Structure 1
């Protein structure tokens, strides 16, 4: 007996919601001033070019290190929503704890940041902190 019915299970989308593709979204686990990226809490929306994927692969550990330093300095605070923006070699990373006390949500995409739609949750948050990272 065959079952011809198919079930479309929606793929969870992690990280900060942004209307831009391609984008990597992730919910990082915060342990003190350390961040851990779990593969099952990350998703890619759209398709990165080979060059963009290579840049993302090289930049991701540097971005994590910078975000950890921002936790140490208090720029990122697990108890307060505050979006920070990092730039590195043509990639933009937006990150925010969303006041979650244990997670950092992020979106990484090629290019410059996009403005948030009116009424979006991030529109009312304090102005993003912008840092350009050197290679």
Structure 2
């Protein structure tokens, strides 16, 4: 499992226009430069669960993911970054998709971001058969 920022505004690499036109108008979103966090989980066989989005909005509404991938889920907070509360919501989303149990556990590999080690998240995982394995941050040697 990992998170990444996804831009809400895509910049096209090529623009198609009529020959001879020297100026093109463009339509851009008001949210230019804002990012949504997407949390994804992929298994060793290449399977995946639908993504979990964290929007940079205090009030998330379900219609925001209405045209997203089937089964995706979302939340919102002021920063749009994964925090303790949103990670717990991701874990609930993960449980609904993977269906682990205390008897049939599931291993979830992730980085050691501070949001991943809250007491609420650890208790949820313990009670629902999710075993967390956190990798320490690696450093790059020149």
Q: Same fold (TM over 0.5)?
A: no
Of the two, which has the highest radius of gyration?
A: 2
Q: Which has the higher contact order (CA 8 A, sep 6+)?
A: 1
The TM-score with structure 2 as length reference comes to: 0.27
